[in-house]
């Protein structure tokens, strides 16, 4: 009998299994090493469903809910049975998943009101599906058959999505008489989907789920009202533009001509209007002369800051821009992370005492000799001439710790105006397949790192987990501290980024650990028709910070 050898790195165990063995047939003997259910596997960097046969040997990694891919599979399974449950109550039920919020997803039941009684009934039905351990059966439909099917199944957004795909077939999943499509892999069965909660949330409801840090229970839902409001604002922008899903965007791009250009221009004007409103608001507060701009990686903080300075100038206010990076401590004083590497994301990597003294002195009208960090030498230097804050001039500081009160602990809160910038895309693939905001930022960074820093897509993907870890520790816990939030996502940008990112991602092969993520991103951007009217993108656009051609110097 033909066999293949698998190596399980976590234990150093090797085992030979018959060629063609399904992955789920061997998971039982590995479950003891995991605290949450195994949702999928990787064999030599290729992500596989548990229903897949093992056709080659190699290093095998099992994915539970502590992994990003494992949690994605789990979430799709929950969404599948949630719609099944609503359909048991309302045959024409239509769900829309809006966006993530903390540990939950903001969801809407179209055309029906949602209250606690309804949600309790839905939970009861979902729990029954879990107890029955129903199988998800994978199948394939002809593309045009799928378009027809989902149009009749009250899921027009899916039909529109398939219309512009190059593939002639669509992978669907069948469970308990119900057929649906989800972007990405699904669990083997409903029995593993034990942890979820449904919570009323105004006109919507929260589907609360486990997290990577809480893999076998549902954490308490923490509302983030400011973040929620900025998501909803962007959804209103989508309504203005007539684009809430990728299919609707592709419809406009396919038509070409003036309609496409108008979409681009309106998206940019909405950004311009929001920045102008922030500038107008800031002018009202004469006492707030320290503006702190913070946000995660590749959120467009730098371009936002420069555009804000222009709008303030129009209102008669000049700005002094200061980089928080100039306040890094010398390299030999930089804290180390758990792996012994320099932790430049930590607030302890900054000279907080010097920063507070400099900002306080400037705000008191004193001359200050500002530092200038030599990154090559890893040492602080100082500028040749002192700096003084002019009358009615404000300081704008951009950096990841801007919302953390520790950064400016010696400066009274009433003197500070905090702005949170992030790319919070509200456009979905379809009604239930959402686009994670982190994917937009990762694609931005892949393109920018290659174009301006000489980094390969592989290097950027390799660093991304640490970048995200730094954001979770140093940025997201403080986002509700912001006085205002700016959503830097542009409705059309993924259709542009596709053109730049695709050639970089295809260079990563399956011998490299980053292949799994590269393949996922390639599948994701394949849903978008390319948008090639680069000359129409304003030189002041946030997007220019990543694709090049910006009028600003960085």
| H/E element, 535 | none
* Same domain assignment for residues 535 and 397: yes
Q: Are 305 and 540 in contact (CB under 8 A)?
A: no
Q: Residue 554 has what pLDDT?
A: 65
CATH assignment at residue 531:
3.40.50.300
- The whole-angstrom separation of Cα 189 and Cα 289 is 57
* Same domain assignment for residues 127 and 197: yes
| Span between the terminal Cα atoms of the chain, in Å | 62
Domain's final residue, options 19, 43, 64 = 64
Q: Are 393 and 321 in contact (CB under 8 A)?
A: no
553 within a domain of the structure (yes/no): no
Q: Are 159 and 109 in contact (CB under 8 A)?
A: no
* Same domain assignment for residues 238 and 218: no
Q: Residue 227 has what pLDDT?
A: 87
- Alpha helices by DSSP H, listed for 100-256, are 116-132, 143-152, 156-163, 225-241, 246-255
521: CB partners within 8 A, 6+ apart: 439, 442, 443, 501, 505
| Count of C-beta atoms within a 10 Å radius of residue 222 | 11
- Exposed / middle / buried, residue 381 (Cβ in 10 Å: 0-12, 13-18, 19+): exposed
DSSP-based three-state secondary structure for 306 = helix
* Same domain assignment for residues 232 and 99: no
Domain's final residue, options 64, 87, 114 = 64
The one-character DSSP state at 135 is: B
- The whole-angstrom separation of Cα 102 and Cα 98 is 13
Residue 43 exposure: Cα atoms within 13 Å on the Cβ side: 16
Beta pairing class for 484-487 and 416-422: parallel
* Same domain assignment for residues 369 and 467: yes
* Same domain assignment for residues 139 and 213: yes
C-alpha angle with apex 168: 166 to 174, nearest 5 degrees? Answer: 120
CATH assignment at residue 75:
3.30.980.10
* Same domain assignment for residues 171 and 206: yes
* Same domain assignment for residues 164 and 249: no
The segments of the chain whose pLDDT lies below 50 read none
**Nearest CA among 230, 195, 242 for reference residue 100:** 230
CATH assignment at residue 18:
3.10.20.30
339 within a domain of the structure (yes/no): yes
* Same domain assignment for residues 411 and 507: yes
Q: Are 482 and 418 in contact (CB under 8 A)?
A: yes
Residue 402 exposure: Cα atoms within 13 Å on the Cβ side: 30
- The whole-angstrom separation of Cα 346 and Cα 352 is 12
Q: Which single residue is written with the structure tokens 């449950």? A: 85
365 within a domain of the structure (yes/no): yes
- The whole-angstrom separation of Cα 314 and Cα 310 is 6
Q: Are 489 and 230 in contact (CB under 8 A)?
A: no
* Same domain assignment for residues 488 and 361: yes
Structure token pair of residue 324 = 């928080």
pLDDT tens-digit series, residues 477-492: 999 999 999 999 999 9
* Same domain assignment for residues 301 and 215: no
Measured CA distances, 351 to 292, 324, 331, 335, 371 (Å)? 17, 10, 12, 12, 11
Measured CA distances, 217 to 105, 209, 210, 221, 300 (Å)? 16, 8, 6, 12, 35
Q: Are 507 and 456 in contact (CB under 8 A)?
A: yes
310: CB partners within 8 A, 6+ apart: none
- The whole-angstrom separation of Cα 122 and Cα 431 is 19
> What total number of domains does the chain contain?
3
What is the extent of the structural domain holding 423?
A: 226-547
Q: Which single residue is written with the structure tokens 């129009």? A: 314
- The whole-angstrom separation of Cα 22 and Cα 20 is 6
DSSP-based three-state secondary structure for 451 = helix
Measured CA distances, 116 to 90, 121, 201, 332 (Å)? 16, 9, 10, 56
- The whole-angstrom separation of Cα 492 and Cα 268 is 10
Domain's final residue, options 223, 249, 272 = 223
Q: Residue 345 has what pLDDT?
A: 86
552 within a domain of the structure (yes/no): no
Cα-atom radius of gyration of the chain, to the nearest Å?
25
* Same domain assignment for residues 336 and 485: yes
């Amino acid at each position: 009998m033909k066999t293949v050898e698998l190596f399980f790195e976590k234990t150093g165990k090797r085992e030979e299994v018959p060629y063609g063995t399904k992955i789920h047939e061997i998971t039982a003997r590995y479950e003891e090493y995991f605290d949450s259910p195994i949702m999928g596997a990787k064999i030599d960097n290729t992500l596989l469903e548990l229903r897949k046969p093992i056709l080659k040997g190699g290093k095998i990694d099992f994915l539970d809910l502590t992994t990003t891919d494992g949690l994605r599979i789990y979430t799709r399974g929950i969404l599948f049975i949630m719609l099944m449950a609503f359909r048991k109550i309302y045959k024409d039920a239509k769900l829309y998943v809006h966006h993530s919020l903390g540990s939950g997803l903001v969801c809407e039941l179209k055309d029906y009101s949602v209250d606690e009684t309804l949600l309790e009934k839905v939970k009861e039905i979902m729990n029954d599906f879990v107890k029955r351990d129903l199988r998800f059966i994978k199948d394939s439909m002809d593309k045009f058959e799928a378009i027809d099917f989902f149009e009749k199944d009250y899921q027009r957004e899916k039909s529109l999505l398939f219309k512009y795909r190059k593939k002639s077939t669509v992978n669907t999943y069948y469970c308990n008489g119900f057929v649906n499509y989800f972007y990405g892999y699904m669990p083997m069965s409903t029995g593993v989907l034990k942890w979820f909660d449904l919570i009323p949330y105004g006109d919507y409801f929260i589907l609360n789920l486990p997290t990577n840090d809480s893999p076998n229970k549902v954490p308490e839902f923490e509302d983030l009202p400011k973040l929620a409001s900025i998501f909803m604002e962007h959804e209103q922008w989508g309504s203005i533009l007539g684009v809430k899903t990728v299919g609707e965007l592709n419809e406009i791009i396919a038509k070409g001509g003036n309609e496409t250009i108008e979409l681009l221009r309106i998206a940019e004007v909405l950004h311009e209007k929001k920045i102008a409103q922030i500038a107008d608001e800031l002018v009202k507060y004469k006492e707030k002369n320290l503006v702190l701009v913070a946000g995660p990686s590749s959120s467009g903080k730098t371009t936002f800051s420069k555009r804000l300075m222009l709008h303030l100038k129009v209102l008669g206010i000049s700005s002094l821009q200061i980089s928080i990076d100039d306040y890094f401590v010398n390299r030999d004083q930089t804290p180390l992370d758990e792996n012994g590497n320099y932790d430049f994301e930590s607030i302890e990597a900054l000279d907080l005492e010097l920063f507070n003294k400099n900002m306080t002195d400037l705000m008191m009208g004193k001359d200050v000799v500002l530092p200038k960090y030599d990154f090559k030498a890893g040492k602080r230097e100082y500028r040749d001439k002192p700096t003084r804050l002019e009358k009615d001039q404000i300081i704008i500081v951009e950096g990841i710790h801007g919302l953390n009160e520790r950064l400016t602990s010696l400066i009274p809160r009433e003197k500070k105006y905090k702005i949170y910038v992030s790319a919070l895309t509200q456009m979905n693939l379809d009604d239930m397949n959402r686009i994670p905001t982190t994917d937009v930022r990762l694609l931005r960074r892949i393109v920018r790192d290659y174009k301006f820093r000489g980094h390969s897509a592989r290097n950027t993907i390799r660093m991304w987990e640490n970048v995200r870890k730094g954001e979770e520790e140093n940025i997201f816990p403080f986002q509700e501290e912001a006085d205002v939030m700016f959503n830097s996502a542009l409705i059309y940008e993924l259709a542009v980024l596709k053109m730049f990112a695709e050639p970089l991602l295809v260079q990563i092969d399956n011998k490299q650990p980053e292949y799994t993520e590269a393949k996922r991103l390639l599948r994701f951007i394949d849903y978008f028709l390319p948008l090639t009217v680069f000359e129409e993108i304003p030189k002041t656009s946030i997007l220019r910070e990543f694709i090049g051609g910006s009028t600003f110097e960085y």
